[in-house]
Amino acid sequence: MFKFWIKQTVLFFFSCNLLFGECLSKADTYDVIIVGGGVSGLSAANTLKQNGVKKILVLEAADRIGGRVWTEDPWGSKIEMGASWISGIVNSPTFEIVKDMNLATQPTVYGHHCLACKMDSMAIYDQDGKRLSKEEVIQLQDNVSKFTEYLEELVSQKDNTSQAFNSLTFLDVLNDFSKKNKLSDPMYDKLYFALRLLVTYEMAVDLKDVSAHLGRLTAASKVSGSDVVIPLGYNLVSSKLAKNTPIELNCTVTGINYDKQVVECTTNKGVYKAKNCIVTVPIGVLKAEKIAFSPPLPKGKLDAIATIQAGVFNKIYLLFPCTFWDDDLEWIESIPSPKNRDEIWDIMNFGKYFKQPILLAFTAGSFAKEVEKWSDEKTVDAIMTVLKKIYGENIPSPSSYRITRWGSNPLTLCSYSSPSLKPEMKTYVDFALPVKDRLFFAGEATSEADGGMVYGAFITGERAAKQVLELMNGKNTPIN
């Protein structure tokens, strides 16, 4: 029986590896090749399979599936090197997958539909390591609330169409709000800290790069509800989508020629051909022109790629021998000095939900880019300096750590997309339009309302697959 099993297994993998290989030779022509094995690419493949398309191949540059969904288990708890949260459980296709799989989820105080709510479970310390009093925190929350009201009232001025108005950033509005309300320098510093913590650490770019008119796009999202984490790992969602999907790993696409009826994808493993091609790579890869398109992409698409920002957001996990911090709270924050006000370590009490003494520090925007250049030792030491200032010099050192560097990872060159300084629906329409009836685009960066979200990646992959199906079935789809 054992010999029979071995024989059948060998025959299976040599004939057709349904998860990590190819069912056809490179000489054959696929119906659809999907560039990128992240959630968007897997969603597209899944939709095509469900609609009877047989000859599909996913080309993935990494040695694993999932893209920016990446779960590790170094210490007995699942840690997410990429996406952590299902950002909203109402009308979320990713949450529906989790429900179908009967996976347990854990809600957190943090939720991207109510960023200020995060402050309800936060210990905030000043630059000297002294904890802000309850009254000081309430005052800061009140200023955040007043700023939000001021921002909403300002951007609702529909009769103002001047270039200066349409180019307003969060930093512009903060400075204007501060002047009109005559905030003292210390209060301005605290409000800047809070807004950077709540906005930059959501959008992955600095306040000066976040449009005040962001709501023009996000208001169209259909997803809502609380945010939850998956204790058993986000990678289970990717694995579910990838089931029975031919995937070629360690296969980097460097060129796509779509000038003929058959699209040719040039890779480090040779040339693959298909009648249709769906490109789902991160916006950072497209901006860096890591894939040579022949002929060049249409101007509208190139403009969209140039306009949408590539945000950087990273994680540093620290495993300690014991817990020494505010264990009842979700977040531990230290306000930096005014001269280094962007150097914020957004620290989450990871152990609160995963029952191990783990802290998770986030970096975002320009500070994240700077930290990516540091050594592991310098990064860990910098976080420990903050923790020692708060909890004393005698706290233990971490016994292990994990650090992400998405911005310098050649396969991503960003963490996720962030809208342009002039967010317009047309940018995303141009980005998502098929080219010459055979080249299609998907990925979270192509979603006007749900950019940066896993469900945004899923929805756009499904959308691109449907565009392919419509063309395969002889129906008209807008193209450029």
Query: Which amino acid would we find at residue 197?
Result: L
Would you call 286 exposed, middle or buried from its count of C-beta atoms within 10 A (0-12, 13-18, 19+)?
buried
Q: Which residues pair with 319 in a beta bridge?
A: 358, 400
Nearest to 431 by CA among 260, 253, 280: 280
Question: What's the structural domain count of the chain?
Answer: 1
> How many Å apart are CA 146 and CA 232, to the nearest integer?
39
Q: Is residue 34 included in any domain, yes or no? A: no
pLDDT digits (tens, 9 = 90+) for 443-455: 999 999 999 999 9
Average pLDDT in the 323-334 region? 94
Please, how many CA atoms are within 13 Å of residue 449, restricted to the half-sphere of its CB? 12
> How many Å apart are CA 115 and CA 331, to the nearest integer?
13
Q: Is residue 33 included in any domain, yes or no? A: no
Q: Is residue 322 included in any domain, yes or no? A: yes
> How many Å apart are CA 17 and CA 1, to the nearest integer?
22
**Is pLDDT of 51 > 70?**
yes
Containing structural domain, residue 393:
71-105+225-232+311-403
Q: Is residue 20 included in any domain, yes or no? A: no
Average pLDDT in the 148-166 region? 83
Confidence of residue 11 (pLDDT cuts 50, 70, 90): very low
Which pTM was predicted?
A: 0.92
How high is the pLDDT of residue 360?
A: 98
Q: Is residue 237 included in any domain, yes or no? A: no
CATH, residue 389: 3.90.660.10
Confidence of residue 166 (pLDDT cuts 50, 70, 90): confident
pLDDT digits (tens, 9 = 90+) for 112-137: 888 889 999 999 999 999 999 999 99
What distances in angstroms separate CA 293 from CA 253, 254, 265, 432, one per listed residue?
A: 11, 9, 10, 16
Q: Is residue 320 included in any domain, yes or no? A: yes
**Is pLDDT of 50 > 90?**
yes
What distances in angstroms separate CA 349 from CA 121, 123, 325, one per listed residue?
A: 10, 11, 8
Q: Is residue 332 included in any domain, yes or no? A: yes
Confidence of residue 8 (pLDDT cuts 50, 70, 90): very low
pLDDT digits (tens, 9 = 90+) for 280-307: 999 999 999 999 999 999 999 999 999 9
Q: Is residue 267 included in any domain, yes or no? A: no
Q: Are 411 and 61 in contact (CB under 8 A)?
A: yes
